[in-house]
Amino acid sequence: MPTYEPRDKYYRKARERGLPSRAAFKIEELIARAKLVPRGGRIADLGCAPGGWLAILARAAGPEGRVVGVDLARCANPPPGVLAIVGDITDPATVSRAIEALGGPADLVTSDLAPKLTGIAARDEARSEEVLAAALEFARRSLREGGAMVAKVFMGPRFKQIVSAFERDFSQVEVTRTAATRPGSSELYVIARGFRRRDGGAPS
Ligand SMILES: C[S@@+](CC[C@H](N)C(=O)[O-])C[C@H]1O[C@@H](n2cnc3c(N)ncnc32)[C@H](O)[C@@H]1O
């Protein structure tokens, strides 16, 4: 049986480095492995609170970069230059605000979105898929041709369909785990590269 250690080595490492969450180590590993963040890049981080991914993404993009976060919850101390929008990613007004704040086509969209769990499996799966669909739609509207997406997904009965949805929009899709994912978790990450705009034009 997997052991669950709430204050594990990643929790301690996050505290030592002044990072708001241990989740930061997941995106640090993924972007390093797949070289996903260009210096000066434009990045949207969906489900950004309390801000662990924002800290890593902002550092990787550098001072010339533009990093915009979205979450239902407020990020207490976003890194300098980062805009953290409080809003629901399924709300079109939030989507428009975030796209506008990016100031141009995004190089990377990341999603660590996870709805509050109710314990009712069917409902939790449906809500996870709903926010993931909203993140994918955000990526379709905001990414540049050739751009990339990293998204948290959960292993479940509709896993194959979920991966297929990414394969329709990206030329390269990989599903992976991160070292910082807790043992026994069904959490996986999709790394999708080579975004293909369906309209062939600039993002709306
Ligand atoms: C695992 S946490 C993200 C942790 C974050 N990546 C970090 O490094 O600190 C998942 C987040 O998804 C957010 N979330 C869930 N549903 C959402 C929605 N519909 N719109 C915006 N954010 C949402 C939650 O509020 C929560 O903060």
Domain ranges of the chain: 9-195
Out of 26, 27, 48, mutate this one to test ligand 1's pocket (max ligand atoms within 8 Å of CB): namely: 48
Out of 26, 27, 72, mutate this one to test ligand 1's pocket (max ligand atoms within 8 Å of CB): namely: 72
Which stretches of the chain are DSSP H helices?
9-16, 24-34, 52-61, 92-102, 121-142, 159-169
152: Cβ contacts below 8 Å, ≥ 6 apart? 47, 111, 112, 113, 114, 132, 187, 188, 189
- Tell me which residue of 47, 21, 52 sits closest to 152, measured CA to CA: 47
Which ligand 1 atom is at minimum distance from the Cα of 51? 9
Sign of the torsion formed by the C-alpha atoms of 88, 94, 98 and 101: negative
* Tens of pLDDT, residue by residue, the chain (204 residues): 445 566 889 999 999 999 999 999 999 999 999 899 999 999 999 999 999 999 999 999 999 999 999 999 999 999 999 999 999 999 999 999 999 999 999 999 999 999 998 999 899 999 999 999 999 999 999 999 999 999 999 988 899 999 999 999 999 999 999 999 988 898 999 999 999 988 755 555
Bridge partners (DSSP) of residue 153 are 188
Which of 13, 26, 152, 160 is flagged as catalytic? 152
Q: Which CATH architecture has domain 9-195?
A: 3-Layer(aba) Sandwich (3.40)
Q: Could you tell me the pTM of the whole model?
A: 0.94
Token pair 């609170």 is found at 49
